[in-house]
Amino acid sequence: MTEEESGMATGRSTPIGVLIADDQDLVRLGLRALVESEADLRVVGEAADGLGALAVARRERPDVVLMDVRMPGIDGIEATRRIVADPELAGTRVVVLTTFELDSYVFEALRHGASGFLTKDTKPVELLRAIRLVASGEALLSPSVTRRVVREFATRPSRVLRPHPRLDTLTERERQVLGLVGEGLSNDEIGSRLLVSPATARTHVSRAMVKLGARDRAQLVVYAYQSGLVEP
């Protein structure tokens, strides 16, 4: 991909800044080499632990953080929580890197504001696509993966419902759509289920995001789960 083609693909005039946080030197080296092989991406920093990731994020203001979970000091989940909670990092999106697709930490990462997750055996081309997708404001959760994550965590005996405080601001149709997002349905699937167009489904999803203050679709999944709109 040429530099001009990259810019057109992402709709940006400047490269996407990426922060790599992983406690393994070899992993960071490999990710850096991959990211820097693309004209529209650049590595703005690295960190070997959660506190380091937080410090570099505050200094460099990356567009995307590739965040390992198990790191010394504070782990990737806590680092994610602190990054998402920092108003000066409102433009930063976090993608959690896990060893297993249903790592027990995945839902906690999403609950604390991660925009999605990748397994460490993700193909290079898919990782690069994921960085661009998240940088554009999308959530990195395919419908099939969402269904598996929700099924895994919705069946836990320790599940505690915490309805979103602004859930009552949603219309009945928006609540219905929120539940379907939580089930992992795409806009096309939601449209088919409700007998409306995908564009109408997308509008309902967008309105629910605004009313609930969700950063992206990943957080809508969490809100649907916590509000009891997704049945195990």
**Going edge to edge, which strands form the sheet with 116-119?**
41-47, 16-21, 64-68, 93-98, 116-119
Pairing of strands 116-119, 64-68: unpaired
pLDDT at residue 7 above 60?
no
- DSSP assignment string, 124-167: HHHHHHHHHHHHTT--B--HHHHHHHHHHHHT-TT------TTG
Q: What pLDDT digit, counting tens, does each position of 42-101 carry?
A: 999 999 999 999 999 999 999 999 999 889 889 999 999 999 999 999 899 999 888 766
Q: What gap in Å lies between CA 47 and CA 59, rounded to an integer? A: 12
Contact 93, 64 (CB under 8 A): yes
- pTM score, whole prediction: 0.74
- The CA distances from residue 96 to 106, 154, 164, 232, in Å, are 8, 20, 24, 24
pLDDT value, residue 115: 87
Q: What pLDDT digit, counting tens, does each position of 184-224 carry?
A: 788 888 999 999 999 999 999 999 999 999 888 888 888 88
pLDDT value, residue 54: 96
Residue closest to 30 by CA, chosen among 17, 46, 16 = 46
Q: What pLDDT digit, counting tens, does each position of 163-172 carry?
A: 899 999 999 9
